[in-house]
Amino acid sequence: MKELRGRVALVTGASRGIGAAIATALAGEGCHVALAARSEDALEKLAAELRQKFGVQTLVLPIDLSDEAQAEAMVAATVAALGRIDILVNNAGAGIYGDITALRSADLRATFDLNFFAPVAAMAAAVPHMRAQGDGVIVNIGSLVGKFPQPLGGGYSASKFALHAASGAARAELKDDNIAVVLVCPGLTDTEFAAHSRISVPGLEDMQGERHAPLRGVAPARVARRVVKAIRRREREVYITLFDRLVVLGAQLLPGLFEWGLLWATKIRRRRFAQAQDKR
């Protein structure tokens, strides 16, 4: 899919962060974009900006993808309004923090609803349209921690592990239909993701993530540029930085040393949770 001008892209989680950046980058390439997220005001603002700056068609879809039943309606609305769907970007997602053996089952299920079941449902809804068109690209935004476990973030890691597996299976299943499945594995990114993550730690349920992480991560625009390149090339898996690639390689080749690093990271994160509890 080298020529993107005139194509129709549906981006979930498009109200901010990586999703907004990807929608902007695709519009900059001449794609008409459907923007899906819960925040209608933010979507309307972005849609107006994209129409004015790039002269593309936009569609605002205020939707809560934690209800997977809404995925089919989202895809149908895109096709009805914009005529087709060439690119599906499953970006909507949320984090969860807490010991894996102590996570509330309702919190963990909510994480899987948004991070795994919603993308799978969106793929199922989009594939018949792409198959009829004879072409399409599905982009699933995974995570670096879908390649190795995240201390005190095992619920989030598990949901991304599941999405990675589903992406690989779909890639093989859809190859003969000329539908590419691109898995993107961002590392630390400078967004509000942590601030909106679910905290499944007794006494800290209202704590809004680790908003003051020691590193800010890469800019969402950098992730978006890499995603556009991956769509053009129909790549299999994408890492944003060389450091991200090296981290995954280290986890595979030096599991003992990597596990030591995970234990160290666990102690740091436990200390932060303890400090937060002490302030209460």
Asked if 211 and 218 touch (Cβ cutoff 8 Å), the reply is no
Distance CA 65, CA 120 (A): 11
Tell me the catalytic residues: 156
Q: What is the DSSP string of 161-225?
A: HHHHHHHHHHHHHHGGGTEEEEEEE--SBSSSTGGG-EE-STT-TT----TT-S---B-HHHHHH
- Please give the helix or strand (H or E) that residue 128 lies within, else none: helix 118-133
Using alpha carbons, list the distances in angstroms from residue 133 to 83, 130, 167: 11, 5, 21
Q: Which residue has the tokens 């794609």?
A: 31
What tokens were used for 32? 């008409």
Distance CA 173, CA 261 (A): 37
Asked if 200 and 152 touch (Cβ cutoff 8 Å), the reply is no
Where in the chain does DSSP place strands (E)?
A: 8-12, 32-37, 58-62, 87-90, 96-97, 136-141, 179-185, 198-199, 237-239
What tokens were used for 58? 């936009």
Asked if 21 and 14 touch (Cβ cutoff 8 Å), the reply is no
